[in-house]
Structure 1
């Protein structure tokens, strides 16, 4: 899959963060810096120094988000035609050799959240599972060693 795949919800979250930074957070910090600059000596003015630092951080994040959104390729998982294989956007139930079961949802790297079992498209476990069908066993190289995972079920969001 070319580019940076992302779900429509993931792209909306990136856009919302970008808009929040650009139209709310940045203007508020600019106003604080403007006020602090008017107070005289800037070398010992904490509001001014912190404000300038925060502006640089916001500008870096805006640049990063702009690049990620430009490289993103929105893929709606509900519209996937091949529903019998592990592909972008599906939820897959897997079990290891000790029958420890997990359900993972395959999402874009910009929207991954391990606490919610949303695993990024370039994660090692996802790379190993790509294209698998129910019943397939895949070996995954993890930091703790190699592990075999069997695909038990594949599900897709409704259209």
Structure 2
């Protein structure tokens, strides 16, 4: 059983989603199925089929969340330190071509969101950064071609 690294915030977000799906979404869908069932003939009842599909999707997501939470390895990034890049690090990079500065936090797959500056530990850029130090240059094969970044900052917490 492979452990899934995640931050405490990521773990809490998954727990919240699981609770919402079990305590709010599940009863809402059951009520919709009951109401649609009351309309009679199920073979041509679009509301019934839509509600059953929503139930299937919700139950699948609940199972996925329960699996991820049971395999979670919560890593408290506030207790980490040093200058080497590892899981949980917030890294500041400078694109060597455009001089554009970017900051990313390396997080678990389930909590990654590039718009919020959180990249997955399994992403190409994160894999290239792991083990590097401030001042190192990193070559990353991105979808748009090779990019070169200089690490200008590493912090935790």
Q: Which TM class, normalised by the smaller chain length?
A: over 0.9
Query: Partners in 2 of 1:109 and 1:12 — Cα distance?
Result: 14
Give, in whole Å, the separation in 2 of the partners of 1:125 and 1:36: 48
The size of the alignment, in residue pairs, is: 155
Residue of structure 2 equivalent to 1:85 = 84
Corresponding residue number in structure 1 for 2:30? 30
Counterparts of 1:9-88 in structure 2 under 5 Å?
Answer: 9-80=9-80, 82-88=81-87
- The 2-side partners of 1:50 and 1:148 are apart by 48
Q: Does 1:144 align with 2:150?
A: no
TM-score, normalization: structure 1? 0.92
Q: Runs ≥4 in structure 1, deviation > 3 angstroms?
A: none
TM (norm. structure 2) is: 0.93
Note the residue ranges of structure 2 that are not aligned, 5 or more in a row: none
Q: For residues 4 and 140 of structure 1, what CA distance do their matches in structure 2 show?
A: 24
Deviation at 1:3, TM superposition (A): 2.5
- SS of equivalent residue, structure 1 residue 87: coil
The CA deviation at 1:115 is 0.5
2:6: which partner in 1?
6
SS of the residue 2:153 aligns to: strand
Aligned equivalent of 2:131? 131
Secondary structure of 1:102's partner? strand
Q: Which runs of 5 or more structure 1 residues have no equivalent in the other structure?
A: none
Task: Quote the offset at 1:39 in angstroms.
Answer: 2.2
Q: Hey, what's the Cα distance between the residues in 2 that align with 1:97 and 1:8?
A: 33
